[in-house]
Structure 1
Amino acid sequence: MDLTTPALLFPAISLLLLAYTNRFLVTAQLIRQLHVKYQNGAREEVIRQISNLRQRVLLIRRMQAMGVMSFLLCALSMLLVFIELIVIAKVIFGLSIFMLVLSLLVSLHEITISTKAIEIEMEDMEQSLRQHD
């Protein structure tokens, strides 16, 4: 193992962290929009979304934390390769990959939950359309 092995993960982890940040920003924007709806009297819709959003924010926080840990472990692995502690570097690099995989699995779970939120929105629209017909 040389310095380039852990360095290969740097761009992937960076892009992943960017995607996670984007998911957080979109979720925060949705929460702000629901807050406005709540203030305007759309309580039923908001109540159905609150637990979903709370769970998504928690998962995104975990995804980001695991991604950052993966990045730090990868950098530590590079440092250990640099000072020629190859066996320890390999273990740390393995932990980095493990954290990355965990982060991706949590991301997959968050995506599943976010689709439930979309289903709730569609149900509310269908209900409104039925009432107007």
Structure 2
Amino acid sequence: MPFPELPLSAPSLLFPAISLLMLAYTNRFLGLASVVRGLHANWKSTQEPILLAQIQNLRRRIRIIKHMQTFGVLSILMCVVSMTLIFFSHQTGAQITFGLSLLLKFSSLTLSLVEIQMSGKALDMLLSNVECQEE
């Protein structure tokens, strides 16, 4: 059974969502970069092991954010290809690339969830360090 015809409006609906996600990802990346710079300066002066653990966590999170951004960009590129194929009446190719776009967006969102969990763990690590120092 063939898939129903994909209208030009379907892939174009992803543009605003992907654009907003990319903005959010970029803001997270820039925020982490600022935190890394501060932690690095602090670690150089104090050499506290907790800072090194936080820096390692931030390194992993930055790597994940880069992958989130990559999947987001690839998703929007697949949307463009899909819309181009629809424009030239190549429905099968358009449906395949639109499906790929959705999978890439799903991957990006999944990585975002992983990074958010890591962020929570990093905050827990920091708070437990504060609690240990108060005891």
- Both proteins in one fold, TM over 0.5: yes
Residue 45 (structure 1) shift: 2.0
Residue 26 (structure 1) shift: 1.1
How much identity, in percent, do the aligned residues show? 43
Q: How does 1:1-133 map to 2 (within 5 A)?
A: 1-130=6-135
2-structure distance, mates of 1:18, 1:35:
26
Residue 42 (structure 1) shift: 4.6
**Contact 2:11 2:83 survives alignment (8 Å):** yes
1:34-90 CA deviation, whole Å, 9 max, x = no partner? 012112215222112122111101100100000000000001101111111111101
The size of the alignment, in residue pairs, is 130
Residue 118 (structure 1) shift: 0.3
- The letter of the residue matching 2:46 is G
- The letter of the residue matching 1:10 is F
State TM-score, norm by structure 1: 0.93
Residue 123 (structure 1) shift: 1.2
Q: Which residue of 1 aligns with 2:3?
A: none
1-structure distance, mates of 2:124, 2:7:
48
1-structure distance, mates of 2:134, 2:40:
23
| Greater shift in the superposed pair: 41-50 or 104-113 | 41-50
**Structure 2 alignment gaps of length 5 or more:** 1-5
| Greater shift in the superposed pair: 38-47 or 67-76 | 38-47
State TM-score, norm by structure 2: 0.92
- The letter of the residue matching 1:120 is M
| Greater shift in the superposed pair: 29-38 or 6-15 | 29-38
Secondary structure, counterpart of 2:129 in structure 1: helix
